[in-house]
A and B are shown apart, each in its own frame.
Chain A
Amino acid sequence: MAAALRIAGLKKSFGGLPAIADVTLEVAEGERRLIIGPNGAGKTTLFNLLTGDLSRDAGSIALFGEEVARLSTWRRCHRGLARTYQIITLFPKDTLEHNVALSLLGLSRRRWSMFGRLPASFYADAREVLARVGLEKVASRPIAEVAYGEKRRVEIAMALAQKPRVLLLDEPLAGLSREERGQLKSLIAAIPRETTVVMIEHDMDTALDLADRITVLHYGRVIVEGTRSEVVADPKTREVYLGH
């Protein structure tokens, strides 16, 4: 069976400075993979390369066996790749349900309809997705009027609405209170196994319990990979995080 995601020899430099020096990794279908590493490890750059927001210098990216490295971002999305952003990038003047409806529309042929109206079914489906993340009561409020934690959940709702095969979560727990973190972690844990989840976290302890396997990235290279206990026990992990 083809891996959900297979990355081989991936490289990316900015002005001669390697952000991704050489990354090779494989994520199995249905797996929950956590990618951790200190600031500047290249975690978000890796995501940007996977989605096509950045073009690679070298290497290959295969999604369920299909090479996608040359495809544009929107084509990768149509192949089943969805992501959330570390810095929230929603449509602040629009309502929550419109944000999610836009996400649903992105994979529909209706997006090319130039003279009709957006069918009400899109909003009904959007409200259903928002109910899954506990936001049905604020569905008709503009994004600008809801709290930061709720925006984080809208980010995830937009990604889930597309029923992705691979979901990339870029620090979904960043900036949240302990209570909100707990809620969001439950939400991530409830994502069905048909969706492979790759999650970035800066803080090692925050999301360890969500992952099947963990990859530690440092200076754009994979330095440790394994199960939770393997990674925690590895002296290289301690060296990266504690400096000794």
Chain B
Amino acid sequence: MKTPLAVIVLAALLPLLAGEYYINLASQIVIFAVFAASINLLLGYGGLATLGHAAYLGVAAYLSAFLYLKLQLAHWAIAPLALIGTTLMAGVFGLVALRATGLGFLMLTLALSQVLWGTAYRWVAVTDGDNGLRGLARPMPFGINMNEAMPFYYFVLVIGVFAIWMMARFVSSPFGATLRGTRDQPRRMSALGYDVWLIRWITFIYAGFWGAVSGLLFVYYHKYIHPVSLSLANSAEGLLAVIAGGSGTLAGPIVGAAIVLLLKNWASAYIERWNMLLGFVFVFIVVLMPEGVVPGVKRLWQRRSASRG
């Protein structure tokens, strides 16, 4: 309990110590951490590798931008509509994707998200195609101006902490225990009286919901949405963040999100081919700590303590 609290306190103090660039970077990390944590529900706790999770981020963002720009609804009405719409879509996608497991599931999630990606490019009347939807304003809860980096960061941090807390409660609940069981021994779980398919479907929807929350924060941050947010690259980046940080751990996706975004932002400022560097870093992590940075560091630390003791 001490470590999460310390991290939250440090995160809350960050705007007092850092400039606007770093505050904005921290906002992006929190948003990406929520996205990665929602993937982790499926991958880390359910054993379901997805390559289509950007669909929920992208659709929630598109719905939000569309309702704001084309129908001129207010943010307080848009947010629940976007979340409900995207979560319902996750329910339908889950019905299709969970016809399979393993590689089949991976391909179905990829195919479904690619359909949306293609639609976002081609359905110009709704999405403005390759131009994307621009001109979105950030919400102003309690009249607070969110256009400044600091208040927006706190807004994102509060929602991010709440989201990760909700996901942590979910995985440590009896349902979470059954979800881990379906990951490790699905056949045995059926024999013990568990409806494995339903457990996976509920998790799929729950993960879709938090993916949608990250999508809302994403579109508030950028005030712009482009088809690339629905792309395979975006889903893969989330998946890599989870694997790099440590799947099946609560801190893993947060650390993974920080690694990906820090590398992207810092490296891209100095190195033209920063994607290559990102690739090398992932290879390095997977070779040195195949279980991910969080469990890997923990293992190395325990080994060091044991050799000293």
Contacts and interface: CB of A to CB of B under 8 A. Distances in A.
Given A74-B196, A91-B185, A105 B174 contact: yes
B173 A107 contact: no
Interface string B188-200: 1111111110000
Contact of A78 (B170, B176, B184, B193): B193
B175 interface: yes
Contacts, number: 83
Contacts of A89: 185, 187-188
A35 to B, nearest CB: 18
B178 interface: yes
Interface in A33-79: 51-53, 72-74, 77-78
B169 interface: yes
Interface residues of A, number: 33
B192 A113 contact: no
B169 A115 contact: yes
Contacts of B191: 51, 53, 73-74, 77, 82-83
A interface SS class: loop
A74 B193 contact: yes
A106 B185 contact: no
A103 B192 contact: yes
B171 to A, nearest CB: 10
Interface in B154-187: 169-170, 172-178, 180-181, 184-185, 187
B184 A91 contact: yes
B interface SS class: helix
A115 B206 CA distance: 13
Interface residues of B, number: 23
Contacts of A90: 185, 188
Contact of B192 (A52, A110, A117, A158): A158
Contacts of B181: 91, 102
Interface string A91-103: 1110000100011
Contacts of B177: 98, 102, 105, 118
Nearest to A168: B191
A74 B184 contact: no
A87 to B, nearest CB: 11
Interface in B26-74: none
A74 B180 CA distance: 17
B174 A113 contact: yes
B137 to A, nearest CB: 34
Contacts of B194: 74, 106, 111
Given A90-B185, A91-B184, A77 B174 contact: no
B174 A85 contact: no
A127 B65 CA distance: 55
A116 interface: yes
A51 B176 CA distance: 25
A112 interface: yes
A73 B190 contact: yes
Contacts of A237: none
A91 B173 CA distance: 17
**Interface hub of B172, B175, B192 (most chain A Cβ within 10 A):** B192
A1 interface: no
B193 A77 contact: yes
Contact of A72 (B172, B180, B184, B195): B195
Interface of A: 51-53, 72-74, 77-78, 82-83, 85, 89-93, 98, 102-103, 105-107, 110-118, 158, 162
16 contacts: A53-B190, A53-B191, A74-B194, A77-B192, A89-B188, A91-B181, A102-B177, A102-B181, A105-B178, A110-B174, A111-B175, A111-B178, A111-B194, A112-B174, A117-B172, A118-B177
Interface of B: 169-170, 172-178, 180-181, 184-185, 187-196
